[in-house]
Amino acid sequence: MRTTRASHFLYLVMGALSVAIVAGVLVASGVFDRTDAGAQSSTATATPSATTSGSSSSSAAVPTDVSDIYERVSPGVAFIAVTTDQGRASGSGWVYDSDGTIVTNDHVVENARSVSVRFSENGDPIDARVVGTDPSTDIAVLKIDPSKVEGGLKPLQLADSSKLEPGQPAIAIGSPFGLQGTVTSGIISALGREIQAPNGFTISGVIQTDAAINPGNSGGPLLDDSGRVIGINSQIATNGSDANSGVGFAVPVDAVKQVVPQLKASGKIERAWLGVSTSDAAPRDGAVVQQVQGVPAQKAGIRPGDLILSFDGRSIKTASDLGQAVLTRKPGDTGKVEVQRNGSRETLNVTLGTRPNEAQQQG
């Protein structure tokens, strides 16, 4: 099984890398499948797929009629067309505020020479400027002239992704295979998943859903049953094809709340870096150090095989917990890392560095 970025390339099929999705994925490892399929269908109708392993059995919570939500929210969802030196691509995006801020995936606008957005199938394309990108969370911010949007911009409301639970309804709106304005529904299948970011690092705390997501949905919103954004649709898991298999992944909206204001202000984000790759220690709590990759961890005395139990007072139960804890800090911040080594506990002092532009190749 592999993961595929859910953006839609109209004229270009790119080379692919694949990875098995397994429990306890390494924090700094894994690869995206870069293949995107062309439009294959002439209909925009989609039905919820079956829940995947790890899904809640509360299928009764799945909404049977989302027409009211679609009517309210779809005017704030955009079709995004991109031109690169290699060809043309498309994806989805959504209105963040009335100033003309559009949120999408970093991989949708990667290497873009020009970008335009459209809010209806018959609407005129509106030129968009890439304000900033954060490959570490696969989030990008675009800017358009609000006066060029007929009827005005319709910003979407944001939910609190920290309060989500498996089994709750999930609704996706976007442009799968270029079919603008497509809505699908399902449930939140699981929380706390990990996927690979465009720069090779790991995105933690990801939402898994069985709402049908296909190439072209990338950058579009995943919504709750009130029509509020809970995540950005980013990837799908596949079994040899690039179509929906009932396993899709969305970057949580709480990451959007953190990243977008910074991108609007400076166009980029410098992220803290500990310099380790880790895996889950299940059934125990903690994150097991697989590799020491950077100066911060080396200077702190962290070693492969160490079990990290806490980071600066924050309990670490999984590898994902460690990744999220580090990303709440800034380069140059100091903290304490509690590790278990050879049956005894040690507290190490660490000064965080600046995350490289790309993850190091795992050996």
Residue 39 CA: distances (Å) to CA of 136, 175, 233: 29, 10, 18
Q: Which helix (H) or strand (E) holds 354?
A: strand 353-354
Q: How many CA atoms lie within 13 A of 187 on its CB side?
A: 20
Q: Tally Cβ neighbours within 10 Å of residue 39.
A: 15
The alpha carbon of residue 88 and the mean position of all alpha carbons in its chain are separated, in whole angstroms, by 22
Of 37, 63, 41, the closest CA to residue 187 belongs to: 63
Non-local (6+) Cβ contacts of 343 within 8 A are none
Q: How many Å separate Cα 207 from the centre of its chain?
A: 8
Exposure of 21 by Cβ count < 10 A (0-12 exposed, 13-18 middle, 19+ buried)?
A: middle
Tokens 């069985």 locate to 210
* Annotated catalytic residue, options 29, 116, 218, 310: 218
- Residue of 33, 36, 106, 138 marked catalytic: 138
Q: Active-site residue 8, yes or no? A: no
**DSSP of 89-158, one letter per residue?**
EEEEEEE--TTSEEEE-GGGSTTEEEEEEESSTTSPPEEEEEEEEETTTTEEEEE--GGGSTT---PPPB
Residue 218 annotated among the catalytic residues of the structure: yes
Q: For residue 79, what is the enclosing H or E element?
A: strand 77-84
DSSP 182-203: EEEEEEEEEEEEEEE-TTS-EE
Catalytic residue (one of 107, 136, 254, 280): 107
Active site residue ranges? 107, 138, 218
